[in-house]
Structure 1
Amino acid sequence: MSETSKDNLKDFLKTYSEEDIEKIRENKIQLVTVEEFQSVYRMQEKQRELIELEREEDSGKRETSILDIGLMSNI
């Protein structure tokens, strides 16, 4: 017993032409919302920042920041 799912793509892509919607179906293009895209973008941005910090830490080339100077003055 198989259920047929209703295709609501036209409802969500009102600004797209029938031809564009058909291309999306044929190519099985994955669509995401703005919120989903921004969430993934922010996550990847944080990962890049962490990787860069790890590289700086590993190479010992990390520049001294104002916070580091403040910590060193307490020694």
Structure 2
Amino acid sequence: MMKIAVQIANGKKLLEDSWGKEKVSAVLAAAKAKIAEIQREVPEATELDIINLNIKLAKTSEAKAIWALCLGE
């Protein structure tokens, strides 16, 4: 489990270096809002289910990384 936390932290750092902390924070906040919206519409959907689905549907590695970072938030 600790290994996953380190990978998430490293991924967040790489995105922050590339995009800037403010943009990463804003995109993570939007992703979390989307998760909450989906859970209101589909109450049986867990946060993990939603994140996993979005990782599979993401078209870019950056989008996949943002959804993966939601696991660490």
- The two structures have a TM-score, normalised by structure 2, of 0.35
Which one has a larger percent helix, Structure 1 or Structure 2? 2
Q: TM-score, normalised by structure 1?
A: 0.34
> Who wins on radius of gyration, i.e. which is larger?
1
**Relative contact order, higher structure (CA 8 A, sep 6+):** 2
